[in-house]
Amino acid sequence: MREALETWWANPSSVHRSGQEARRVLELARAEMAELLSVRPREITFTSGGTESIDLALRGSLAAARRAGDEVRPLLVTTKVEHAAVRDLAELLAQRDGAETRWWPVDDQGVLRVDQIDSMLAATATTAGPPALVSIQWANNETGAIQPVHQIGRACRARGARLHVDATQWVGKMPVVAPGLPPLDEWCDLLTCAPHKFGGPKGVGVLWARAGVGLVPVQPGTQEKGRRGGTENVPAIVGAGVAARLARLWLADPAQRERLAALRDRFERMLLEAFPLARVNGPVGPAARLWNTTNIAFPALEAEPLLLAMSERGVAASAGAACSSGSLDPSPVLLAMGVPPALAHGSLRFSIGPATTSDEIDQAAAVVIESVRRVGGAMLGWAS
């Protein structure tokens, strides 16, 4: 990235030599990202972040549906456990853009039931045609819960619906394509991610669009093959390409993920043994959630003083999504799962990374236990 700032600083759309050198490193980064996703480089669009990628996928798809038939009211189908980048945008599109938004229910684990997917899709069909767009997370950012995206994708394809997958929490942590699983373009139409979730810089996002999927640009311009205008952020894109290459190498060894999942599980056990009243929000099975995430509720306690107490001792966590953890409101995701407000208010999300060690897990658990005891006092036995 420093070399890009100092050497490849020219506009990659320029025809002069410096501009074409910037274009060369940008396209090398695109190829690295495409290889991580097992797709073709020309199907990758770079944006300013995951939120903009989602906005382009959703707005661009609904605008394309509107162009196809002015009498059709575009329909967006999603869930209340999505990241705010999808959830809030869905509400905004319904209020201001004339789209119709329908919310699929989830179970108490925050997961769509596979046996209901086709019937739910059928129920969303209208006389004007099938749903314009279905938007689903691959893995939840607060609980790590994994959605059955392949089954959803097959049902969408059978019904003629377009599927967008928010893979921000998945890409770089789990393989997008693995033995026994179909290629992305066989079940998905649009996929978005953010490289800063797997070691890249902030300020760059990724949208993959299956060949033939039309999008109306939200930000018109000639850059990014006309899908997203604006001079590309070459240093950030170069960093994203390096992160993609390193993530691909790391993903080649499944033992790393197994090791880290075991560390996460041990962290949970230490807290639950110390506080029998605490509980894990969301699924706990080994194949039901990502290896890096846990969400633990401490009944009758408030998340904010716990976060402050832990932060003073070197443990950084969040209440809900990291980008909204300054809010005092309980997590909308947990409420949508049916978690009682008293539990949602005292729920904390912890994440680990590829470099997390066993000693760090032990140290973090000790800090959390001490913080809960200090903040909770003798209430409900937290001091015991």
Going along the chain from its start, the domains and CATH numbers come out as 2-251 (3.40.640.10), 254-381 (3.90.1150.10)
Contact 12, 221 (CB under 8 A): no
**272-331 per-position pLDDT tens digit:** 999 999 999 999 887 899 999 999 999 989 999 999 999 999 999 999 755 554 556 789
Candidates 190, 186, 63; CA nearest to 138 is 190
Alpha helix positions (H), the chain: 2-6, 17-37, 50-68, 84-96, 117-124, 149-159, 234-251, 254-274, 303-312, 332-336, 341-345, 358-376
What is the pairing mode between strands 205-209 and 279-280? unpaired
Return the bridge partners of 164, or none: 135, 190
**214-255 per-position pLDDT tens digit:** 999 999 999 999 999 999 999 999 999 999 999 999 999 999
323 among known catalytic residues = yes
Q: Count CB atoms within 10 A of the CB of residue 213.
A: 18
pTM, full prediction: 0.94
Q: How far apart are CA 157 and CA 165, in angstroms?
A: 14
**Mean pLDDT on 177-194:** 95
Neighbouring residues of 168: CB distance < 8 A, sequence distance ≥ 6: 50, 83, 137, 141, 192, 193, 194, 197
